Amino acid sequence: MSELGVQVEIYNHHRNGKYSSYHGRVGSVADNVLQQQFNAKDPYQVIHTDVTQVRLANQQWAYISAMTDEASKEVLAFQMSSHPNQELIMNTLNELLDHLPDDAQPIIHSDQGWHYQLKYYTKKLKDHHFIQSMSRKGNCHDNAPIESFFHLYKTELLQGLPPCNNITELRKLSLTYIDQFNNERISLKTKGMTPVGYRNHALAV
């Protein structure tokens, strides 16, 4: 990440607080299919999603919705908005659909945030024959893979830099980071390969 001039420092909870989308039961709550068994080996089997927030220089929040592949760690969808609303979540899901093979039928795992309970979201998953899975209430370990990605995103990209002035600036910086994360960042969890490299290798076997 040196091309971005990124410094890795201690995580700043005040500036990049955890976003809570849990508003109780407002729709359908899916079973926790995964039960913290994060052992997918093949791409497009299990996909994790969540929303986080980043404070801007004007003290407003930018809300980020992402989807990551459990096996390859690839970021398959990354959307940003000034409001954590339906449009943000559906834009993320639509971006995912643009990346998936036509025959993919993954498990889509999230927390119990209100966005993921409502019919517009659950119906679209069913229409594409996706399996919905949800964490238990208040248990961040149930969705550890996406929590881990957001932690890396905030510490590797944002720490050591002044807050972005606006969402446009943050989005531009973030998309550069995502491209480097997917295509340049190697990990022991992906056998020393980049996320895209792991995905291509796994699909070629």
Q: For 104-126, what is each residue's pLDDT tens digit?
A: 999 999 999 999 999 999 999 99
Q: Which one has a higher pLDDT value, 134 or 21?
A: 134
CATH superfamily for 2-204 is Ribonuclease H-like superfamily/Ribonuclease H (3.30.420.10)
> Which DSSP state fits 171?
H
List the structure tokens of 129. 């024959």
For tokens 């080996």, the residue is 41
Domain boundaries, the chain: 2-204
Rounded to 5°, the CA angle 178-42-66 comes to 30
Q: What pTM was estimated for this model as a whole?
A: 0.89
pLDDT per residue as tens digits for the range 172-201:
999 999 999 999 999 999 999 999 999 999
Residue 23's pLDDT is what?
A: 52
